[in-house]
Structure 1
């Protein structure tokens, strides 16, 4: 995790007075760091942009954290490393992927918008690691992707 982020989170933890809340937030932070590191080991770059500087990558859950059980929250196969723009598109359901590594774009954004960020429907990303993520991606397509 980036040193600035760690420093910011440590300050936030120090300001929490409730010891139970502090304990839960601290454990969540540790779990998220482990999840991110394991995901980076599996895929050390964004498969769309090929950016590999981990300071510019977000560990994006395929099945959202809020909808995942305890195991799914820390399963690195429930994640993709994405640059911020593509993380946002994926997280908000404007972008998903088939099990054949092709993009699925939501009709809720215009083709012009997609073209400005350099992505199109049915575009194949051969660097996208699907193996082990099929069920999570199915969930994303069925429940997150805006249709």
Structure 2
């Protein structure tokens, strides 16, 4: 995985098939004791996911984890990839990362399905292996 600014270059020649690829977006909004959110983006069929987010309060300061789950089972642990720093009030500066992950399959959008899929996918914030906050991951319309 790569954390930081997503590289861009003017040296790339784009073909029509490259620019016409469908973008898949999803979000998780946390409310309650943990306030913040994360956005997940991918290009159809790429297997690469871009994660962006920040939290205003309540993010655990020690031994925390960030997990994407599907039907209660961990699909990917984003903790190390995101390299999140936490302030004394539980806020975070904006964070981002590029990770190898099939967002399309995770959301259940593959195999010609063109509907919004929201059942069973969650983003979980954990501390000492206990879930502190959980938010549904919702596919955004294209």
Normalising by structure 1, we get a TM-score of 0.29
Structure with greater proportional strand content: 2
* TM-score calculated relative to the size of structure 2: 0.29
| Larger Rg belongs to | 1
